[in-house]
Structure 1
Amino acid sequence: MADDLVDGFRRLRVVPPRPTAGIPGRRVAFAPVPSEQAVWGEELMTFLRAEVRAAARRGVISTADSEQLLARLGLVIDQALTSR
């Protein structure tokens, strides 16, 4: 889209794509299937996120501490899975 200045106001107008914008014969690549370790890591983080947030709601830890804990746990889990 491009904008035109009309009477002091900007108005958007549709600009058709150039014919050379696409690559002929090129297919879109699919995203790779996540590995079993990646799926396991995501499931573990989902479980930990639920438990830590529940603890914060009950007042066991503060909300700020829970967010910091989740950030650190995410880094540790990511490092553990990528080091193999």
Structure 2
Amino acid sequence: MADDLADGFRHLRVVPPRPTAGIPGGRVAFAPVPSEQALWVEELMAFLRAEVRAAARGGVISAADSEQLLARLGLVIDQALTPR
């Protein structure tokens, strides 16, 4: 499963889009390039997701508790990193 990062952290590299990479004859709006902070948050959540699910598989916590924990962690991380 992709969420079970058995080989450790994945290292993502952001490649900016080429300005000529559009569809000929059409207008294409490119999505904004994710910030370094956004990529870090994705890596952190992927790591936490893998660890919490491993704990659930090992019987340390229930599957329902693991999903609730992941939802709460996502909220806490989002609140901690939202500029005020």
TM-score normalized with structure 2 length = 0.66
Deviations 1:16-53, CA, capped at 9 Å, x for gaps: xxxxxxxxx86211000000000000000000000000
Task: Give runs of aligned pairs for residues 63-78 of structure 1, distance below 5 A.
Answer: 63-78=63-78
Aligned pairs, how many? 60
Please report how far the alpha carbon of residue 78 of structure 1 lies from its aligned counterpart in structure 2 after TM superposition: 1.1
Task: Give runs of aligned pairs for residues 3-82 of structure 1, distance below 5 A.
Answer: 27-82=27-82
Which segments of structure 1 move beyond 2 Å, counting only runs of 4 or more? none
Unpaired segments ≥5 residues, structure 2: 1-24
Please, which moves more after superposition, 34-43 or 72-81? 72-81
Structure having greater relative contact order (Cα 8 Å, sep ≥ 6): 2
Task: Check whether the contact 1:38–1:81 (CA below 8 A) recurs between aligned residues.
Answer: no
Please report how far the alpha carbon of residue 83 of structure 1 lies from its aligned counterpart in structure 2 after TM superposition: 2.4
CA-based RMSD of the aligned residues comes to 1.5
Determine which structure has the larger strand proportion and give its number: 1
Task: Check whether the contact 1:52–1:70 (CA below 8 A) recurs between aligned residues.
Answer: yes
**Counterpart-to-counterpart distance in 1, 2:28 and 2:66:** 40
**Counterpart-to-counterpart distance in 2, 1:29 and 1:51:** 37
